[in-house]
Structure 1
Amino acid sequence: MSTGQRDSGGRLVLTFDDGYAEDFDQIRPVLADRDVPAVFAIVPTWVGEPGHLDAERLDELADAGHELAAHGRRHRHLQAHHLRRDAASGDDRLHVSGEVHADGHGTLAGDRYEVTDGETSETVEVASVTATDEGGTIAVETPLSRSFDAGEAVVRPEASVVDDEVRGAREGLADLGHDPTTLVLPYGAADVRAWRAVREAYDVLANAAVRSLPNPPGTDPTNLRRYYLETTHLTRVELGEYLDAVAETGGVGVLAGHSAWESVPPERVGWVVDAARDRGVEVTTFASLFGE
């Protein structure tokens, strides 16, 4: 498979998250027509589920020269949540800010979380999660035995949960016959603990930051930033300027999409590839860029 390189004017990696069936049905033909690769970020526990790729499709994508990256074992949110309200001893609900999901991923029932202000800590087990306009409410199995102030305390996955999400994703894909060296963080969310875990288990972290700027030459592969090619995030004018910057600096651009969403029509992906080529930007994969 060609990478579409015309000169040394930078590199572009396209990533598609969550392993949707549309990756194969809609995105793969666009890439094949242009003979370029992409990175497909896979949640192993979702493989074979309705609307998602099955193991056979994963094999076909890999055989065609595309990279399969890990996207967490169960698509958990690995960044700490700030307490939105004070939590008192005896409370069995934690009111938190930030991105909270109550649809079977993000924050999961049964997972163990740590409530800590840096001096006092307590471990709780998640009973259920409710999303709200302000963030969400995490119900815990056993009431708190300590109190925590909203101004300083955080609620975060216990180290074992982080390890299961990060290393477990690689192990899950290994069970399917693949050995990913790249991780794409679910939601682009992580704290320092999660970042360290990723650096120990993978060669590349595709989305250490979510920013609409390309990566300068020499950026550490576990500290890459990426943005979204989706219609909800960038116009074609902005995408063109992004690619101009990639070409001018000789850096690495990373653009992402979710193929099942209306904001990622196949023709938009084709436009991005063509626009990259027009600027002499090579469309490639993390494995090609950073592999031994």
Structure 2
Amino acid sequence: MPPSDAGHLVLTFDDGYAADHDLIRPVLAERDARAVFAVVPSWVGKPGHLTAVELDALVDAGHEVAAHGRRHRYLQALRLGRDATSGDDDLHVAGEVHDDEDCGIVVGDRYEVTDGDHREPVEIAAVSATEDGGVLTLAASLDSAFDRGETVVRPHESVVTDEIRGVRAAFAEMGSDPSSFVLPYGAADTRAWRAVHEEYDVLANAAIRSLPNPPGTAPTNLRRYYLETTHLTRVELGEYLDAVAETGGIGVLAGHSAWQSVTAERVGWVVGAARERGVEVTTFASLFG
């Protein structure tokens, strides 16, 4: 653990966008600062994302690569948005649902519907987003009825294991062995948290809160927030960094480099503002390695 009288700031950039290399890397290089890049291995080389060569360049520059899941799955339970009856082919759920079949809720994955007293395994055949959540189409009709008030739809344990532990094999093929994990969407249930706690040294986003981590916070229980212009103003960022410096705690600020809310100017300003307060900009590996 870092000494209690030293404030530290870790910058994390999610999803492995090409802009991590093209936009963020030069800003950090100019300031001799390091950051953490949370990567989904199967996205490396895809349009808009880092190539293997660009990822290696980040590592060679001293930056840390963190695991961001094998398929970028949503690992938190979703509540039923409507009552479900026997014979239903669709489940209406409330919460964060995306149309993309290759992340979030992945077609072909096993899920379970449970109200605590009864559980039924299901397989996802299709996913569609709605204004208030989404519709999950099942590969086979539901056998039982479930009341929306106490029912959740959640990934099967095997899906949680594949997302958190299974990604290690993909990183091994890339010659990498990350010690930190960043939850996709910042979403997890206790099963996911437990798996990360057992498999990794650091969980960057056990919670999403605009407060820094006090000294002594367990590295698998860190909370983070977003440096993006849509989330914090300079005034708020300054107060956040003040708290890091005053408490000697650890700040964790995140961004998505391909989004308009993350600019070179914003990232450079955060690094400078941290150092003005005596806060060291570093990585999880340097802090907890």
How many Å apart are 1:280 and its aligned residue?
0.2
Letter in 2 for 1:85: R
**Structure 1 counterpart of 2:227:** 229
Contact 1:188 1:208 in 2 (8 A): yes
Alignment partners' CA distance in 2, 1:97 and 1:61: 38
Which of 48, 59, 62 is the equivalent residue of 2:59? 62
Letter in 2 for 1:28: R
Which of 80, 84, 99 is the equivalent residue of 1:102? 99
Alignment partners' CA distance in 2, 1:203 and 1:149: 39
Pair 1:82-2:79 in alignment: yes
**Structure 2 counterpart of 1:169:** 167
Alignment partners' CA distance in 1, 2:205 and 2:172: 22
How many Å apart are 1:8 and its aligned residue?
4.8
Contact 1:8 1:280 in 2 (8 A): no
Residues 186-214 of structure 1 show CA distances to partners (whole Å, capped at 9, x for unaligned) of 00000001101111111100000000000
Alignment partners' CA distance in 2, 1:202 and 1:174: 15
> 188-197 vs 164-173, which deviates more?
164-173
How many Å apart are 1:54 and its aligned residue?
1.3
**Structure 1 counterpart of 2:123:** 125
TM-score (norm 2): 0.97
Alignment partners' CA distance in 1, 2:48 and 2:265: 21
Taking the TM superposition and a 5 Å limit, the aligned residue runs for 1:1-292 are 8-103=5-100, 104-291=102-289
Alignment partners' CA distance in 2, 1:113 and 1:37: 39
TM-score (norm 1): 0.96
Contact 1:115 1:122 in 2 (8 A): yes
Q: Classify 1:34/1:8 alpha carbon distance in 2 versus 1 (closer, same or farther; 3 Å).
A: farther
How many Å apart are 1:242 and its aligned residue?
0.3
How many Å apart are 1:9 and its aligned residue?
3.9
Detail structure 1 runs of 4+ shifted over 2 Å in the superposition. Answer: none
Letter in 2 for 1:22: A
SS in 2 for 1:196: helix
Name the Cα RMSD after superposition: 1.0
Residues 158-181 of structure 1 show CA distances to partners (whole Å, capped at 9, x for unaligned) of 011011110122221121011000
| Structure 2 unmatched runs, 5+ | none
